[in-house]
Amino acid sequence: MLATNYRGPYRIRASQKPDPVIEHPGDAIVRVTRACICGSDLHLYHGLVPDTRVGHTFGHEFVGIVEEVGSAVETLKPGDRVLVPFNIFCGSCFFCQRELYSNCHNTNAEATAAGGGIYGYSHTTGGYDGGQAEYVRVPMADVGPYKIPEDIVDDDAVLLTDALPTGYQAAEMGDIKEGDTVVVFGAGPVGIFAARSAWLFGAGRVIVVDHVDYRLDFVRRYAPCEIINFREVNDMAMHIKKMTDWLGADVCIDAVGCEAAGSLAQTITGRWTMLQAGSATALFWAINSVRKGGNVSIVGVYGPTFNAVPIGNALNKGLTMRMNQAAVKRHVPHLIEHIRQGHLNPKEIITHRVPLEEVSDAYHIFSSKYDNCIKTVLIPPRAGSARATASSIIS
Ligand code: NAD
Ligand code: ZN
C-alpha cells in the first residue's frame, strides 16, 4: 500500500509499504478515505518528538471503511464507515472507566509516558502505524472507532477524530462561566475550534491571538471573535489587561504548544526549532494574561521534560490549570448534535484536499503557513469517490 514514510526532520514522503494485517482477534483493518495533517504532526515533522523512527507512518486523524475484522470483533463489520479517535484505548482500565481515554493504562508500554497510545505518533506513544496511508490496523476495534451516522459527511467526521473535540475540550477545561472573557492563543485548527466552542460554554467575549494574518482573518469571521496580532503588541499581558478593565482575562487557552513563536530567545537566535524542548511563549502569555483566580487550559502539546514555565506566577495568582490530550470519543456524540443543529461547521476550516502521493508538499505548505493553509486533508489512491475532490497542491 501507499503510506507516509518519515525520513528525518523536514523529510517525509509517500512510499510503498506492506499492507497491515490482523495481528490480534480484536483488530480491524480500515481502508482510509481521508486523513488530516495536524499541528501535532508538525512537532514530529520538525524532529522535536523523541523516538520518532525513520520509516514511521504518521497520521492520527482519519476516517474510512472497515475492510476486515478480527474474530473477536463484535460491533463492526466490513463496509462500515467509521471515524477513528486519535487515542488508542482499552475502554476498561481505571482511567478509561473515568472517560480519560487519552490516559489509557494499557495501550502504551512506555514506562515513563503518562499518555496512552496514539496512532502514528512515534514510539513514545506506542509506535502504532498511523492513518496517512491507504490502510491502517485499528487495535481494540470494538472500543475506539465510531460508526459515522448517515447524515454526517466524511469531511465533518474527520475533524471529529481530533481537532474539533480538542478545541471543544480546551473550552470545557477552561470552566467558562456565563459572560467570561476568554483569550485563545493560537489560530490553528485547534484554536479556531476552541474559540468557536467558547461561545457554546457561555463566553461573553472571545479574543484570539496569533501572528499569521490569514488565520486571524479566518477566525475573526468563523468564531466570531476579536483578534490580536502579537507582532503588533509589545507586552502581551499588559495588552490583555488593558482590554479587560485591568483585571486580565477570566480564561486563557494555550492552543499553540511547544513551537510557539515570539520568544526573546527566538528573536535573538532566530533558530527556534533548535531550542531544547521548544518554547513555551504562549503558555507564559496565558499565565500572565489571565486574571488572579482565573483558569488556564492547555491543549498545546509540550514535550514530557519541558518545565521552564512561570510556575511561581501561577501559584501567586491562585490559578486553576487544566490540561490533557483530548478524550475524543467522550465528545463525539454531543459534537454530532452541535453539527446537526448548525452550531458547528467543522469542514469549513478545510483549505486543501491533496492526493496522498503529495504528502511531502502538503507538510511543507502546512508547516510554512503558505497558500492560506489551515487544514489539509490527504486522500489516498483507493479512497473511492473522495479521490475526485483531491487536487494537486503545486500547480
Ligand atoms: P497549528 O500549527 O496549525 O496552529 C498553531 C498556531 O499557533 C499557528 O497558527 C501559529 O502561528 C500560532 N502561534 C505560534 N506562536 C504563537 C504564540 N506565541 N501565540 C499565539 N499563537 C502562536 O496547530 P493546531 O493543529 O491548531 O494545533 C495546535 C496545538 O495543539 C499543537 O501544539 C498541537 O500539537 C496541539 N494539539 C493537542 C491536542 C490534544 O489533544 N491536547 C490535539 C491536537 C493538537
Ligand atoms: Zn491531531
For residue 321, give the H/E element and its range: strand 320-323
Gap from CA of 186 to ligand 1 centroid (Å): 6
Quick check: 295 pLDDT over 60? yes
Q: What is the pLDDT of residue 270?
A: 53
Quick check: 335 pLDDT over 50? yes
Residue type for position 44: L
Gap from CA of 256 to ligand 1 centroid (Å): 3
Find out whether the beta carbon of 195 lies less than 6 Å from any atom of ligand 1. no
By alpha-carbon position, which residue is closest to atom 36 of ligand 1? 300
Q: What is the pLDDT of residue 276?
A: 46
Find out whether the beta carbon of 22 lies less than 6 Å from any atom of ligand 1. no
Query: Residues 25-57: pLDDT tens digits?
Result: 999 999 999 999 999 999 999 988 888 999 999
Query: Residues 181-228: pLDDT tens digits?
Result: 999 999 999 999 999 999 999 999 999 999 999 999 999 999 999 999
CA angle 174, 176, 182 (to 5 degrees): 80
How long, in residues, is the chain?
395
Quick check: 93 pLDDT over 90? yes
Residue type for position 257: G
Give φ, ψ of 188 to 5 degrees. -80, -175
> Which of 64-68, 93-97, 103-107 is the most confident on average?
64-68
Give dist(CA 256, CA 192) in Å, integer.
11
Banded pLDDT at 91 (limits 50, 70, 90): very high
Please give the mean pLDDT across all residues of the chain: 92
Task: Single out the residue of 311, 286, 312, 309 nearest to residue 299, CA to CA.
Answer: 286
Find out whether the beta carbon of 228 lies less than 6 Å from any atom of ligand 1. no
Banded pLDDT at 309 (limits 50, 70, 90): confident
Give dist(CA 131, CA 379) in Å, integer.
11
Quick check: 317 pLDDT over 80? no
Find out whether the beta carbon of 211 lies less than 6 Å from any atom of ligand 1. yes
pLDDT, mean of residues 80-85? 98
The answer to whether 9 and 56 are in contact (CB under 8 A) is no
Gap from CA of 313 to ligand 2 centroid (Å): 30
Contacts of 274 (CB under 8 A, 6+ apart): none
Gap from CA of 104 to ligand 2 centroid (Å): 17
Give dist(CA 227, CA 309) in Å, integer.
25
- To the question of pTM greater than 0.75 for the whole model, the response is yes
Residue 110 half-sphere exposure toward CB, CA atoms < 13 A:
21
State which of 36, 37, 38 you would mutate to test the pocket of ligand 1, scoring each by most atoms of that ligand within 8 A of its C-beta: 38
Kindly give the number of the ligand 1 atom that is closest to the alpha carbon of 102.
Answer: 40
Domains of the chain and CATH, by start: 2-162+327-379 (3.90.180.10), 167-323 (3.40.50.720)
By alpha-carbon position, which residue is closest to atom 14 of ligand 1? 260
Give dist(CA 338, CA 321) in Å, integer.
27
Banded pLDDT at 304 (limits 50, 70, 90): low
Residue reference for cell 505548505: 365
pLDDT, mean of residues 272-288? 73
Banded pLDDT at 111 (limits 50, 70, 90): low
Q: What is the pLDDT of residue 308?
A: 63
Give dist(CA 22, CA 41) in Å, integer.
26
Find out whether the beta carbon of 281 lies less than 6 Å from any atom of ligand 1. yes
What 3-state DSSP class applies to 378?
A: strand
pLDDT, mean of residues 6-30? 97
Quick check: 269 pLDDT over 80? no
Ligand nearest the Cα atom of residue 286 = 1
Gap from CA of 158 to ligand 1 centroid (Å): 18
Banded pLDDT at 163 (limits 50, 70, 90): very high
Give dist(CA 198, CA 193) in Å, integer.
8
In the chain, the percentage of residues whose pLDDT exceeds 90 is 80
Quick check: 266 pLDDT over 60? no
Largest interatomic CA distance in the chain: 62
87 CB-contact burial (10 Å; exposed 0-12 / middle 13-18 / buried 19+): buried
DSSP string, 233-248: -S-HHHHHHHHTTTT-
Give dist(CA 193, CA 296) in Å, integer.
17
Gap from CA of 262 to ligand 2 centroid (Å): 23
Ligand nearest the Cα atom of residue 300 = 1
